[in-house]
Amino acid sequence: MIDRRAALGGIGALAAFVALPAPGLAAASRKPPRLRLGDTVGLVAPASAVTLPDELDRAVYWIEAMGLVPKLGTHVTEQDGYLAGSDAARAADLNAMFADPEVRALFAVRGGWGGARVLELLDWSSICAHPKLLIGYSDTTALHLAIAARGGFPTIHGPNGASRWEKASWESLWRLAFTGEAPVLGGEAMEQVVGRPGRTITGGRASGRLLGGNLTIISTLMGTPWLPDFTGAVLFLEDVNEAEYRVDRMLLQLKLAGVLDALAGVVFGQCTRCSDSEPGAVGFTLDQVVDHHLAPLGIPTFAGANIGHITNQLCLPSGVRVELDADARTLRVLEPMVD
């Protein structure tokens, strides 16, 4: 286990993946409040049941290591099949945390599956009236995108509460959520630090609203009213445990739905364990599948970003305008995401 001092040690010495914020950037009209040391934050389980050993304890540990005070959702330890309690119970925790004036932000304890099941049960009038940072990834994508579509305020695609909050994750959260900076995320220096080289698919720069997350969840929500408008957006994608043909199928779905053709740029992050496990399987590599769908778009695109089911993943400001530089493989945040 990483000790508390190690978890917080990067605040004063920021890593090479960030640059100073650009001055004079226009602010978004609706923003959540920034986090402050000592703030109370909600721990919720909107998807799969919290059943792994010490999972909830790990989430509490990391939140406290950040200098925050965790407040557990009423139903966070419940289980209904593979879900963290009934749909109504999980939705009730989310509604309560957004309405609670003591709670400054929300962390999803874990992902899995189930977030999309609660979307129709959420009190959207209350959520819109109380914008707060929601932090998490994987299945939490359903909530990020629904908030982008209905709430109109930014959220953070980053580690879940029980994930390992290592240096890059913590420092990007600090700059986005605590100090309200507009950093540059990614780039060659970051790739060297984490040992994950990226690659440019189509060079150039593009700007737009940053939207995306888990490819499977985006595919699941396609054709529903819970997706935001992707016109002119910078799309980011990640996934886990998906064979190449399934990634092919989901990217094709985005293409046929008109999403890919509407974009300003694309960032494909990490697809962890995304290979066909059948012995002697013959087909395309993941890179070939990604290039087949994204290269013909002719828009700035790069792959290999530090996003997804990996250690040291970056926190990303979902719903905020960014500038993508596909040659440098960076995302430059164009406005602070918090007040």
The pLDDT tens digits for 188-221 are 988 887 888 999 999 999 999 999 999 999 999 9
Query: What pairing do the DSSP bridges indicate for beta strands 155-157 and 133-136?
Result: parallel
Instruction: State the catalytic residue, choosing from 48, 75, 138, 191.
Output: 138
**DSSP helix/strand/coil, 90:** helix
The candidate with the shortest Cα–Cα distance to 191, out of 297, 279, 80, 270, is 270
Distance CA 339, CA 336 (A): 8
pLDDT of residue 28: 42
Indicate if the pLDDT at residue 260 is higher than 70: yes
C-alpha 10: how far from its chain's center? 21
Q: Is 309 a catalytic residue?
A: yes
The token pair at 193 is 């630090």
Query: What pairing do the DSSP bridges indicate for beta strands 103-108 and 133-136?
Result: parallel
Indicate if the pLDDT at residue 182 is higher than 60: yes
Instruction: State the catalytic residue, choosing from 238, 242, 244, 335.
Output: 238
**Fold (topology level) of 19-333:** Rossmann fold (3.40.50)
pLDDT of residue 277: 64
Instruction: State the catalytic residue, choosing from 242, 309, 318, 335.
Output: 309
Indicate if the pLDDT at residue 11 is higher than 50: no
pLDDT of residue 194: 81
| Residue-averaged pLDDT of the chain | 91
Q: What are phi and psi of 255, to 5 degrees?
A: -65, -50
Instruction: For residue 57, give Cα distances in angstroms to 63, 64, 126, 209, 339.
Output: 10, 11, 29, 35, 30
Q: What is the value of pTM for the model shown?
A: 0.90
Distance CA 193, CA 166 (A): 12
Distance CA 118, CA 14 (A): 38
Q: Is 138 a catalytic residue?
A: yes
Indicate if the pLDDT at residue 254 is higher than 90: yes
What is the per-residue pLDDT across 55-111, written as a single tens digit (0 to 9) for each?
999 999 999 999 999 999 999 999 999 999 999 999 999 999 999 999 999 999 999
Indicate if the pLDDT at residue 279 is higher than 80: no
- For 79, counting Cβ atoms within 10 Å of its Cβ (0-12 exposed, 13-18 middle, 19+ buried), the class is middle
Q: Is 318 a catalytic residue?
A: no
